[in-house]
Amino acid sequence: MAHPLDPCSRYLSAGYLGVYQAYAANKYIIALSEQYTIITRIIFYRLIFLKVINMDLTVLFKLTYGMYIVGAMDEARPAGCVINTCFQVTSSNPLLTVSLNKNNFTLDVIKKTRRFSLSILSEDSDPALIGKFGFFSSRDTDKYAGFGYDVVEGAPLVKGDFAGRLILEAEQFVDCETHVLVIARLVDTIPGKGTPMTYSYYHNVIKGKAPKNAPTYVAPESVRETATPKRRYECDICLYVAEVDGELPDDYICPVCGADRSHFKEI
């Protein structure tokens, strides 16, 4: 016997037919609503994209960020990178969150080992640390060479002056388009000294720029800068800009990444 709600059944009663028609109409309305929602979202995101093109993205420099070096052990060798996004989530048995670009090799290592360190850069930290850890990849570069490191609680700590150190254990990984939020449990702390370096200090005092993997990276053509009478030379490794009254000296060394004069081009 045919199912009483089968529209092809010749035994379908008028009452059942009314119920079925109402059900089918409701499904059709829902389908149209879902299509409308998708189209609306596409239009919305396209409008946002067009608006972003005309935005002054340097306003984002006013957001408050710190400067940190994240380290993790890739078996017998250390990996690491510079990040500028870390915040405490809970106070009891603390959880913290850090943001890493999906292209960072260090993120791949953390996903495997879970254990990592976070060193809080201070205003007294060697700027060369930012150059080495921020503009090279641990895939093919020993970033710790020239600085040295200690392994504490299974995580590498690059040697130098820092405001403090944290040892963390990753518990969750949250996908955020180009980046991944790593939610981690605090394992240990190591006190340091000095004033924590902010991104504003790095940008305005050290005159450094964000690496391409940083969430705060802005393409050079997107930055509106005021004219200056000084001659300006840009490092092709870390994008540091040296401003001098005349020719850049032949023995000039980049204060951020340590590159020599050959890596500077006048802009």
- Name the 3-class secondary structure at 151: strand
Assign 3 to helix, strand or coil: coil
- The whole-angstrom separation of Cα 190 and Cα 75 is 23
| pLDDT of 224 strictly over 60 | no
Q: Give the pLDDT score at 85.
A: 94
Residue 203 has pLDDT above 90, yes or no: no
Kindly report, residue by residue over 68-84, the tens digit of the pLDDT: 999 999 999 999 999 99
> 11 vs 70, which has greater pLDDT?
70
Segment 56-71 shows an average pLDDT of: 85
pLDDT digits (tens, 9 = 90+) for 109-140: 999 999 999 999 999 999 889 989 998 999 99
Q: How far is it, in rounded angstroms, from Cα 219 to Cα 90?
A: 35
Predicted confidence (pLDDT) at residue 108 exceeds the cutoff of 90: yes
Would you state the pLDDT for residue 29? Answer: 61
